[in-house]
Amino acid sequence: MAQLLAIDWGTTNRRVYVLDANGAVLATDRDDRGMLAMEGRDYGAELDVLRGRYGDLPVLIAGMAGANRGWREAAYRSCPAGIAELAESICWMEPGRTGIVPGVSFDSGERADVMRGEEVQVLGAVQAGMAEPDALLCQPGTHCKWVEMAMGRIAAFTTAMTGELFALLRRDSILSGTIAGTVTDGEAFRHGVAQARRGDLLANLFGVRAGVLLGKRDAEESASYASGLLIGADVAARPLDRPVTILADPELGGLYATAIELCGGTGRIADSHTAFVAGITAIWRAL
């Protein structure tokens, strides 16, 4: 029997999970009603539609619905943060009925960082036994998160604009006509990772175009090479002294696993959706 609607409300997409009392997924749906599409719309009315579809259930939301551009800002919880800290800081829209999970913040004194939604996944990965309590986790994407866990709690994290930078270069830079191809894990991607390990990322990026103009690289391989440069630079900057749990789909996760291996580490891919369900279920039980 359905007991909870759990929503991973991202910037561009939204995924809904219908969970039973044990946290098992009874139904799931994904649409394009992310935070950006919700501007000018009524979040409460959207939930009425979902409840009409799946049942009049409690709702627990993670992600950008709790941002300052979302439904209501759910204040960040400072590191270290675990399931208990997130549960006690839920932003209730309707007490006991509709709540938003807070994001997590990190401040080293020299660098500040924030996350929303990813905290549920990384905590869930530990809860589900997909990662060790003191693991290093990587969440590739538009903004790649590298999360250090300590005793099952988020101790510190770093966000790299890897995916966003690749998209910007592809769309709005001098490289736009050069890196339009498909990114694959092959010789060009691995060469990009190797070059990134030597440093000088900005010069190497310009060299993507120059290499094609001078016939040193096939234009079809340039997207993979440029992706290797960016992912390689991201990975090479991280401590790889322990296995990395990569929360991603096999395609993007596979690129990061390759880069981690080439940089001397070990990466293993874990399902981010399973991790989210485990995390949101643990928070729900802690309420």
23 in a structural domain: yes
| Strand, helix or coil for residue 125 | helix
For 8-56, the DSSP string reads EE-SS-EEEEEEETT--EEEEEEES--TGGGTTS-HHHHHHHHHHHH-S
Strands 14-20 and 112-115: unpaired
Is the pLDDT confidence value at 257 over 90? yes
User: Would 224 be classed as within a structural domain?
Assistant: no
Mean pLDDT, rounded, for 141-165: 96
Is there a domain that residue 150 lies in?
Answer: yes
Which structural domain, as residue segments, surrounds residue 110?
2-159+271-286
Task: Render pLDDT for 65-92 as a digit per residue (tens, 0 to 9).
Answer: 999 999 999 999 999 999 999 999 999 9
Task: Report yes or no on 171 lying in a domain.
Answer: no
**Pairwise CA distance, residues 105 & 100, whole Å:** 16
Residue 152 lies inside a defined structural domain of this protein: yes
Mean pLDDT within 106-123:
96
Burial tier of 95 (Cβ tally within 10 Å: 0-12, 13-18, 19+): exposed
Q: What is the mean pLDDT of residues 143-154?
A: 97
Choose the weakest-confidence range: 125-129, 219-223, 266-270: 219-223
Distance from C-alpha of 76 to C-alpha of 190, rounded to nearest angstrom: 38
CATH number at residue 130: 3.30.420.300
Q: What is the pTM of this model?
A: 0.94
- Kindly state the percentage of the chain with pLDDT values over 90: 96
> What is the Cα–Cα distance from 84 to 216, expressed in whole angstroms?
55
Residue 74 has a CB neighbour count (10 Å cut-off) of 26
Which residue, among 15, 213, 240, has the nearest Cα to 148 in the 3D structure?
240
Residue 211 lies in a domain: no
Cβ distance 60 to 4 under 8 Å? yes
Peptide bond preceding 58 in cis form (omega within 30 of 0):
no
H or E, element range at 65: none
Residue 196 within a domain: no
- CA dist 99 and 89 (Å) reads 10
Burial of 197 (0-12, 13-18, 19+ CB in 10 A): middle
Query: For the chain, how big is the Rg over CA atoms in Å?
Result: 20
Specify the pLDDT at position 217.
86
Count of structural domains within the chain: 1
Residue 102 lies in a domain: yes
Mean pLDDT of 50-66: 96
Instruction: Give the max Cα distance, the chain.
Output: 64
* Residues in CB range of 25: below 8 A, 6 or more apart: 17, 18, 19, 277
267 near 247, Cβ under 8 Å? no
